[in-house]
Amino acid sequence: MGAPSKAKRPKRRWVGIRTTEEIDRENLKSIIDQIMPSSSAKLYDLKIVNGQNLAIVRINLTEYPVFVFKCQSDNRLHTITASGKIRLVRDRLGLPKPKLRR
**Rounded distance, CA 91 to CA 102, Å?**
24
Q: Per the confidence metrics, is the pTM higher than 0.75?
A: yes
Q: What is the pLDDT of residues 19-66, one digit of tens each?
A: 888 888 899 999 999 888 878 899 998 888 777 889 999 999 999 999
- Structural domains of the chain in order of their starting residue, each with its CATH number: 10-93 (3.30.70.3250)
Q: If 0-12 CB within 10 Å is exposed, 13-18 middle and 19+ buried, where does residue 56 land?
A: buried
